[in-house]
Amino acid sequence: MDKIAFGTDGWRATLDVFTDERVRIVGEAVATYLEEEGYTDPVIIGYDARETSPGFAESLAEIMAGHGFDVLLPERDCPTPVIAYAIVNRGLSCALMVTASHNPPEYNGVKFIPEDGAPALPERTEKIVDNLAEPDLLPEEEWGEITEIDPIPDHAEHATDLVGADLSDLTIVYDALHGSGRGVTDALLESAGAEVITRRCTQDPDFGGGEPEPSPSNLQPLADAVEEHDADLGIANDGDADRIAITTPERGYLDENLFFAAVYDYLLESDSGPAVRSVSTTFLIDRIAEANGEEVVEVPVGFKWVGKAMGDSDALIGGEESGGFSIRGHIREKDGVLMALLAGAVTAEKPLDERVDALLEEHGEIHASKRSVDCPDSEKERVLDDLEDHIPESVAGSAVANTVTLDGFKLLLEDGSWLLIRPSGTEPKLRVYGEAGSDERLQTLLDEGVDLVEPLV
């Protein structure tokens, strides 16, 4: 059987591997870690909208209580950021969040979130993995108490205070993709005054026969609904609502890179500070920062690195091209619920399409995308080692000016475009990312990137 391993964001697997027995082993490892490190405060166990998630959460709660910890268990499935905020808001030891995020229904997973509400860094998750063992619980009379709570109102109040949005003139279409954002993100937008039209906001453990991934193809119905209702904005969350995707009246699906740029530009109108972005995220952020006398911190892919750098640099915003963002004054965990409210605030001040048009006019066009190449996890390190010996002198007719090895190999080209090849942290694939000034140029870059890596797999 496959080993339990914490990847980019916790342990995630198909249900033939992600079993109750093994979930309890993870709970045992976390409880042991907390005991070793001297934590005594309660813990919270959250879960998403998957059919199996409440049962796994109850098993984890039992293990934690069986080690003497008081446990808070939400009354319903909740977004991951709501659970992460509850840790800080209530002074808890940690959270365990049962979710497979955007993966299809045959998956589940568990995230460990430490006391600061930010994603756990490897030094912590490695200690947890080292503690994996069969449960060894206290006598029942020494168990902690399990209490049901509703953590959603506290998060909503904090988000409202932080963003301060008046959305009374906006019509927004919200698409939960049958995930845990339903009744949470839409309710937050309504509380700020928006007229909200909902799509896929019923609970469906099969996610309508698809997966709760806010990809362009999955959100065409949202874009159509924005047009149909003459709405100002379309907003979607992934399955556990830690990521956001946007559709606009003019563009339809709005590239997350452009959304990141628009939000940073908006925040800089009334505040200052650097931005943190992953190595796979647009250089448009750098251009906006430079125009405002600010810095940009580049980090490896994975919000744990974004969160760490946000704390180190007191960043105004941090984000990734995959749709995960957070801002100063909030927990350093990606939050698609908070960002939905912020997207509304940006739009209320100026339509997103107008703001993006102005940014591209000032800083130049950007086109970004990625492709995947199948590669077994066991082969990823070997392929990257081989790739180091095959870095070309030029790509698509432009010389390689520099190679960044922060996370895989990022080739910076003399014409300002770039190509990145790195291993996926969640799937048996290599990712090929690119950014250029035109779509035609981008596709050529991606073609050459795939051609470069495929023979090595």
User: Do β-strands 275-278 and 317-319 pair in parallel, antiparallel, or remain unpaired?
Assistant: parallel
Angle (nearest 5°) at CA 342 between 341 and 346: 120
101 included as an active-site residue: yes
| 425 confidence band (pLDDT: 50, 70, 90) | confident
Phi, psi of 429, deg, nearest 5: -145, 155
Q: What percent of the chain has pLDDT over 90?
A: 95
pLDDT digit string (tens) for 116-136? 999 999 999 999 999 999 999
Cβ–Cβ under 8 Å, residues 53 and 99:
yes
- Mean predicted confidence (pLDDT) in 437-454: 96
Q: Which residues, other chains included, contact 178 with Cβ-Cβ below 8 Å and sequence gap of 6+?
A: 49, 200, 201, 202, 203, 204, 206, 207, 208, 212
- Mean predicted confidence (pLDDT) in 68-96: 98
Residue 9 confidence (pLDDT) above 80: no
Position 222 scores a pLDDT of: 97
Position 311 scores a pLDDT of: 97
Task: Give the number of other Cβ atoms within 10 Å of residue 181's Cβ.
Answer: 35
Q: Rounded distance, CA 455 to CA 125, Å?
A: 34
Q: What percent of the chain has pLDDT over 70?
A: 99
Residue 240 confidence (pLDDT) above 70: yes
Position 75 scores a pLDDT of: 97
Position 98 scores a pLDDT of: 98
**Integer-rounded Cα radius of gyration of the chain:** 22
pLDDT digit string (tens) for 354-377? 999 999 999 999 999 999 999 998
- Mean predicted confidence (pLDDT) in 272-292: 97
Give me the chain's average pLDDT, please.
Answer: 96
Count of CA atoms in the C-beta half-sphere (13 A) of 377: 8
Position 5 scores a pLDDT of: 80
Structure tokens at 106: 């045959």
Position 1 scores a pLDDT of: 45
Position 10 scores a pLDDT of: 81
Q: Which helix (H) or strand (E) holds 442?
A: helix 439-453
Cβ–Cβ under 8 Å, residues 331 and 77:
no
Q: How far is CA 117 from CA 87, 137, 293, 326, 450, in A?
A: 6, 27, 30, 12, 37
pLDDT digit string (tens) for 387-423? 999 999 999 999 999 999 999 999 999 999 999 999 9
pLDDT digit string (tens) for 140-173? 999 999 999 999 999 999 999 999 999 999 999 9
Position 215 scores a pLDDT of: 93
Q: Rounded distance, CA 54 to CA 62, Å?
A: 12
Q: Where are the beta strands (DSSP E) in 388-427?
A: 394-395, 398-404, 409-413, 418-423
Active-site residue (options: 53, 93, 101, 278): 101
Position 2 scores a pLDDT of: 63
Q: Rounded distance, CA 420 to CA 411, Å?
A: 6
Cβ–Cβ under 8 Å, residues 135 and 27:
yes
- Mean predicted confidence (pLDDT) in 434-448: 96
Angle (nearest 5°) at CA 259 between 256 and 262: 155
Q: Where are the beta strands (DSSP E) in 37-183?
A: 43-47, 71-74, 94-98, 107-113, 146-149, 171-175
Position 284 scores a pLDDT of: 97
Task: Give the number of other Cβ atoms within 10 Å of residue 429's Cβ.
Answer: 17
